[in-house]
Structure 1
Amino acid sequence: MSPRRWLRLLPAIFITYSIAYVDRANYGFGAAAGMAHDLHIGPSTSSLLGSLFFLGYFLSQVPGAAYAGQRSAKRLIFWSMIAWGVLAAATGLIRDVPLLFADRFLLGVVESTVFPGLLILLSHWFTGRERSRANTILILGNPITVLWMSIVSGYLASSIGWRGMFIAEGIPSVLWAVVWWRLIDDAPRDAAWLSPAERDAIEARLALEQQHIVPVRSYREAFLSRPVILLSLLYLFASIGGYGFILWLPSMLKSGSKLGMVDIGWLSAGPYCAAVIVMLIVSFVSDRWQVRKGVVWPFVLLASLALSASYLLGPNHFWGSYALLVVCGAAIYAFVGPFFAWITELLPRNVAGASMALINSSGALGSFIGTYFVGYLNGATGGNGASFLFMAASMLIAAGLTLTVPRPSVASMRARERSAPTRAERAL
């Protein structure tokens, strides 16, 4: 089936998620670069500001995904990009703390549509045997963004201050929205750049996969099903540890060393550089052998063990502890592409989009809990030990929950095998 899907859609989707991720991850740099001092914000208030993004994100996921699935992911993401660019830049202009609370919350609301909307879009374009790799290219926008953003934000915060950093990193999304609108189509049937044979081949393969998934009549039935409940809990606990790690990594590195912000920026990039390599390998293995559960739980467990070991080494062994944080960062990201491919193999298309949003919103709730309590524990204890153990325990629970999720039906697995394109179809 058409290789042009990969060349046209995935770079645009990657860039879109990358731009979105800047505005949720750069708060940690603003906090470390003097934002709290300038606005007279205490540790608990700073933690609440960081986590309010995820509260807004949590509350708006399912309605946004329902619109993307039933109407248009393309249109929803276009308007979201414009809104989040304005709100992200406003973070650098606001001087009143209550307004900053509102800005961070609303930023979470408008960005909540992006990830489930992009996943739904990918499910309309790529088959089950391609989806882990396609999802991973989308999700690579996360660690690659944090990798370059860690370096750029360190320089920007050092040279033009935290206010200038927020403004400079908020503007690109408004400009990119125009490019997005011209490049993206909601489904193969809408794409004038594909031949009729290519459109028909893609739609036929996707339809064949759906025939062998157990039907689910309504969102309520899907949301109360055992797989969705377990996957939601799994992602909640994984995100408590994962986003606590992502948002507060610069502050944790700074408190464990005497390095400046530029050096902290370079060190913060390390875990994400490792994550990019590991994610590509894991997604290829997951698609090649059609393994989802078997690549999810080992990496969630590895993240937990690496954090625990980093805590045991302590601040007196900074570089050994940092190496374990690199392992943890890679493991946190490695499982996400196969995880979201797994969801689409357990549920039919009519409810898969909203179910992914519910699961992702559970992750956002976990992110809210993780970012708040990690920041709170760091401030309350004056160190990182308690927060490391909190994150490690959360990911250990997530690894255990993974083992309880049922596998797709045998009929569904055989249908995916039959839906693998022939050599002639791959040439289209």
Structure 2
Amino acid sequence: MKTQLAKARWFRIIPIVFITYSLAYLDRANFGFAAAGGMTEDLNISKGTSSLLGSLFFLGYFFFQIPGAQYAAHKSAKKLIFFSLILWGGLAAATGMVSDVGALIVIRFMLGVVESAVMPAMLILLSQWFTKDERSRANTFLILGNPVTVLWMSVLSGYLISALGWRWMFIIQGVPGIIWAFIWWKMIDEKPKDAHWLTQQEKDDIDERLQEEQQGIKPMKNYAQAFKSKEVILLCLQYFLWSLGVYGFVMWLPSIIKAAPDMDIVTTGWLSSVPYILAIIGMMGASYFADKTLNRKIFIWPFLVIASLSLFGGYLAGTENFWLSFTLLVISGGALYAPYGPFFAVITEMLPRNVAGGALGLINSMGALGSFIGAYLVGYLNGLTGDFGASYMLMSGAVLLSAIITLIVVKPPVAAH
């Protein structure tokens, strides 16, 4: 019989992690609102430059994933996230003060660099606190910061731009990150052994369970061996294609909705929030059952297939059937987000602890590259063709390929004897 591990971890660690990732995620999506709400006209940004700016964040994000993950795994995730939050908040607020495209290019790239450390560092931190049969839910509470942020940010950004303009939207949404950095530093503990609110027995129980889990994982000598393994290569490709679809969707959803006849920015904000309500429900359900069954695979690929088919349906519906097209966008948004918790649990269960941090960084960096290409190509195709049909096809195809790779690389659970 397994020992019941301290429930206090869920109340002490998860809310802090959730709020931190929520704040760190904010500026990825509000750029799409600024673009739809007057920034492109004010700064005289061409359509090609607009799609480049939307995607530049992910290029900076791509380059610094592995060093960030390595530092978090071998030194301190807590310290890395503290400095990232301060720098991120400052750069996000500075976006509202730019007067030319050159400065905006530098800020967007640097935002990606600063924020690149947050996701892998958070996943490593959670893997030091939560066991295999908890990890999908723990990861989901972290990643829920993504759709929950976009949900309230979509509504708030619409009102802020309408009332104060896009510049004040960036400034108002950047400052909380700086304040929160100091709350993070005070409230979070790196590992169970650092937590004064756990008894010694509770600390030992968590450590013992985590050590046991490592024994069932095939050892790997170093990062070179891990990065060359078939599993890591396929997971990189899977996440690259999935992210291409996700960020093509996130970055350009406001523009797709705003293009409807008689659509104002406040209504665009409300409608843009709807897919993320479904995303939150899907993520909670998928992670709960993935932890109950430990069958991660069945809670990843079917959602990706649904997302692909919904995006293809959006292409068939066309812009003249707005409400049908919008309904399909809601379904695809929910399905794109649902598998995140199970997916990141897979990585830490397939790879030993000595290489899991670097592998997480590599896989996440390929996701960032997919995000860069998705955000850029969707914007480019929208400008080139004058409608969203080609973008729907691109996102649908990428996500379907991602589902197929999931079927190949993720193993079903081993039956208990």
TM range, smaller chain = over 0.9
| Corresponding residue pairs, total | 413
The answer to whether the 8 Å contact 1:255/1:383 transfers is no
Unaligned residue ranges in structure 1 (runs of 5+) = 418-428
- 1:36 and 2:40 are equivalent in the alignment: yes
Q: For residues 195-241 of structure 1, what are the alpha-carbon distances to aligned partners after superposition, in whole Å with 9 as ceiling and x for unaligned?
A: 10110000000000001100011011111111110000000001111
User: 1:243 & 1:305 partners in 2: Cα distance?
Assistant: 17
Distance 1:406 1:326, change over 3 A: closer
Which residue, 386, 389, 396 being the options, matches 1:385?
389
Question: 1: distance between equivalents of 2:413 and 2:369?
Answer: 30
Counterparts of 2:319 and 2:104 in 1: how far apart (Å)? 33
**How far 1:154 sits from its partner (Å)?**
0.5
SS of 2:36's equivalent in the other structure is helix
What code does the residue aligned with 1:341 have? Answer: A
Alpha-carbon contact 1:346-1:408 (below 8 Å) kept: no
The answer for unaligned runs of 5 or more in structure 2 is: none
Name the aligned partner's letter for residue 97 of structure 1.
Answer: V
For the 8 Å contact 2:140–2:287, the answer to whether it is kept is yes
Whole-Å Cα distance in 2 between the matches of residues 271 and 138 of structure 1? 18
Separation in 1 of the partners of 2:374 and 2:234? 19
> How big is the shift at 1:256?
2.8
Aligned-pair identity in percent equals 57
The DSSP-based 3-state class of the residue aligned with 1:403 is helix
Aligned equivalents of 1:192, 1:228: Cα separation in 2: 37
* Correspondence for 2:236: 232
Indicate how the Cα distance of structure 1 residues 61 and 408 shifts in structure 2: closer, same or farther if over 3 A, else same. farther
Q: How does 1:303-342 map to 2 (within 5 A)?
A: 303-342=307-346
What amino acid is the match of 1:103? I
Query: What is aligned with 1:87?
Result: 91
Structure 2 counterpart of 1:368: 372
Q: Secondary structure at the match of 1:130?
A: helix
Give 1:37-56 correspondences, 5 Å limit. Answer: 37-56=41-60
- Find 1:122's aligned residue among 98, 119, 126: 126
How does 1:189-228 map onto structure 2 within 5 Å? 189-228=193-232
Q: Give the one of 241, 246, 253 matched to 1:242.
A: 246
Q: Is the 8 A contact 2:297 2:410 kept in 1?
A: no
- In 2, the alpha carbon distance for the partners of 1:289 and 1:399 equals 20
Q: CA deviation at 1:317?
A: 1.3
Contact map agreement 1:345 1:408 (CA 8 A) in 2: no
Q: Is the 8 A contact 2:346 2:410 kept in 1?
A: no
Q: Match of 1:313, as an amino acid?
A: A
CA distance in 2, matches of 1:157, 1:349: 45
With the length of structure 2 as denominator, give the TM-score of the two structures: 0.98
1:162 paired to 2:161: no
Aligned to 1:400: 404
Asked if 1:6 is matched to 2:10, the reply is yes
Determine which of 274, 281, 300 is the counterpart of 1:277.
281
- Superposition CA RMSD, Å: 1.1
The separation in 2 between residues aligned to 1:54 and 1:258, in whole angstroms, is 32
* Offset of residue 409 of structure 1: 8.2
Displacement of 1:285 in angstroms is 0.7
**Counterpart pick for 1:302 among 306, 311, 329:** 306
Q: Deviations over 1:390-425 (max 9, x none)?
A: 111111111111111052784xx76xx9xxxxxxxx
Between the aligned partners of 2:317 and 2:150, the Cα distance in structure 1 is 25
TM-score (norm 1): 0.95
Distance (Å, rounded) in 1 between the aligned partners of 2:261 and 2:396: 22
SS of the residue 2:313 aligns to: helix
Q: Which AA in structure 2 matches 1:236? A: F
**Counterpart secondary structure, 2:316:** helix
Q: Deviations over 1:25-50 (max 9, x none)?
A: 10000000011101110011000011
Verify the 8 A CA contact 2:297 2:412 in the aligned structure 1: no
Give the superposition deviation at 1:308.
Answer: 0.5
The aligned residue for residue 424 of structure 1 is none
What secondary structure does 2:106 align onto? helix
Q: What letter corresponds to residue 328 of structure 2 in structure 1?
A: L
Determine if contact 1:146/1:269 at 8 Å carries over to the other structure.
yes
Instruction: Give, as a single letter, the amino acid of the residue that structure 2 aligns with 1:356.
Output: L
Give deviations 1:138-183, integer Å, cap 9, x for gaps.
0100000000000000000111100000000000000000110011
| Residues 239-284 of structure 1 deviation map (CA, whole Å, 9 limit, x = unaligned) | 1111100010000111133210000000000000111111111111
Contact (CA 8 Å) 2:308, 2:395: kept in 1 or not?
yes
Partners of 2:385 and 2:133 lie apart in 1 by 47
Q: Which moved more, 1:215-224 or 1:253-262?
A: 253-262
Instruction: Please name the residue that 1:64 is paired with.
Output: 68
DSSP 3-state at the match of 2:320? helix
Residues of 1 paired with 2:310 and 2:412: CA distance?
30
1:357 deviates by: 1.1
Query: 2: CA distance between counterparts of 1:189 and 1:291?
Result: 30
- Counterpart CA distance in 1 for 2:39 and 2:261 is 20
Partner of 1:422: none
After superposition, the C-alpha distances for 1:66-94 in whole angstroms (9 at most, x for unaligned) are 00000000000000000000000000001
Aligned match of 1:178: 182
What is the distance in 2 between the residues matched to 1:20 and 1:332?
20
- Contact (CA 8 Å) 2:296, 2:412: kept in 1 or not? no
Deviation at 1:97, TM superposition (A): 1.0
- Counterpart in the other structure of 1:153: 157
In 2, the alpha carbon distance for the partners of 1:387 and 1:214 equals 41
Is the CA contact 2:16–2:187 (under 8 Å) kept in the aligned structure 1? yes
2-side partners of 1:93 and 1:225: how far apart? 46
